[in-house]
Structure 1
């Protein structure tokens, strides 16, 4: 379920003051409408520059995602915007990131952004998985696999983003991955597989075309065909669960894409 968004300016005065000690005097703020998991998502302009700020109340059930993003960020130079500061005050947890001036990736067929996203996933594949606490891909997918033994396909020691929604990819020259709340440890090819679903949903690409883009990522070639099929089936079950719990245009679109991919994989 999406988290209710609120204005940055409505934060408690002590929190705003604490932000200014890190970021400089606040001149202007703009609420960011994209994203589902943050109560605060805003670009702030200060005497020292501009920052993207995301935040949750300290008692929010997903506040752990703020810590996860802060922990993983130092390992993502050139992959994600840099985290400049954190604020924990008056019941709020805020992260202040480098602000990008680009646009959300366009996943439509023929988009010039597609090669940049493929390159981004190639570069991510070269990042060693840090020795921090992360969920494991096989744990996250075990409730959705067609048969219990399928989870073995997803185990590995690569750093994964796992949410390749085009709104999580910013193109500002090269492409960058934002929102690392669901950073995961698992098989190296899984982010390319997650991308297939979003390519089909957001770009309306057919399975063969979407898989063709995934194949530009070297890690994709390490996945056995039966492993990709196991993921496609699990992904369809996952998105059925999400769409049932949070029905809406975007969840239905992604669910439909995941179903089409799963049906295609059954014929491979």
Structure 2
């Protein structure tokens, strides 16, 4: 659950202030809920994006994110500093500026995503503790296991088009897995951006991991992922949950033929 900046203890805000040379402004992030605090902090030398967490689950997710952003070059924002005070884990990273990409059919932004994804598809998971595929998606299949670093939540809100290229934020669900899992989880966002399921699969076919994956593994993933989101939608009034239930359902129906 996202909290206001004022929820931080004075000792934490004092440490942040020292790190940025004095806090001028604080603007909360418009979306997301993995960290309890997520805000852009402006100091005399510019802006820093700050996340903070104290609860067990949110702190664990932030530790995963810290590990990913420190270990992987280029794709995540650069970690500038981090500290722990009064049971709060606080991380300051590079403030990225730019719009989110348009992932609709025919958009030139898809080419930028393709370039970024091809690099990420070749990135092994560094040593450390990461989510397993079954812990991440809620079901298991042997084909999902692997040694690659998978972001696992490439929705457009986690992609930022900067002057130097497409960057990926919010690594709280970083997972060690087979590279095709990243692509299978991206299918729902392509469908949500206007692709028919067949169009989404045609775009994903440019990646070697997609072509190499057993069709039965994809069928199983699509079916079980749709069932998961359908069950969630029956218990939730959140629009985004119902959207994911619809998009994953479309893909599963397509694969059933």
TM-score by length of 2: 0.92
CA distance in 2, matches of 1:216, 1:9: 47
- Paired with 1:100 and 1:59, the residues of 2 have a C-alpha distance of 26
Please list, as runs of the form range in 1=range in 2, the aligned pairs for 1:10-159 lying within 5 A after superposition: 10-56=7-53, 58-141=54-137, 143-144=138-139, 151-159=141-149
In the comparison of the two structures, how many residue pairs are matched?
Answer: 256
1:177 paired to 2:155? no
The 5 A counterparts of 1:215-234 are 215-234=205-224
Q: Deviations over 1:153-196 (max 9, x none)?
A: 21111111111221111111311111111111111111111111
Determine the C-alpha separation between the residues in 2 that align with 1:222 and 1:130: 23
Asked if the contact 2:35/2:62 (under 8 Å) is kept, the reply is: no
RMSD: 1.8
Q: Unaligned regions of 5+ residues in structure 2, if any?
A: none
Where structure 1 has 5 or more consecutive residues not aligned to the other structure, the ranges are 146-150
1: CA distance, partners of 2:32 / 2:24 = 24
Within the candidate set 236, 240, 247, 1:250 is matched to 240
Secondary structure at the residue paired with 1:6?
coil
For structure 1, which segment, 168-177 or 236-245, has the greater mean C-alpha deviation from structure 2 after superposition? 236-245
Which piece of structure 1 moves more, 232-241 or 123-132? Answer: 232-241
**Residues 83 and 242 of structure 1: is their aligned pair in 2 closer, same or farther, counting only changes over 3 Å?**
farther
Aligned match of 1:148 = none
- 1:262 corresponding residue in structure 2: 252
Residue 79 of structure 1 contacts residue 177 of structure 1 at CA under 8 Å; is this kept in 2? Answer: yes
In structure 2, what is the Cα distance between the partners aligned to 1:210 and 1:101?
28
TM-score (structure 1 length as normaliser)? 0.89
Q: Distance in 1 between matches of 2:90 and 2:206?
A: 36
Deviation at 1:263, TM superposition (A): 0.7
Within 2, Cα distance between the matches of 1:191 and 1:119?
A: 14
Mapped contact 2:183–2:204 kept (Cα < 8 A): yes
Distance 1:138 1:13 in 2: 39
8 Å CA contact 2:100, 2:160 repeated in 1: yes
Q: Is the 8 A contact 2:131 2:175 kept in 1?
A: yes
Of 178, 196, 199, which residue of structure 1 is paired with 2:190? 199
SS of equivalent to 1:241: helix
Cα shift at 1:247: 2.6
Change (3 A) 1:254 1:47: same
Check the 8 A contact 1:138/1:152 in 2, yes or no.
no
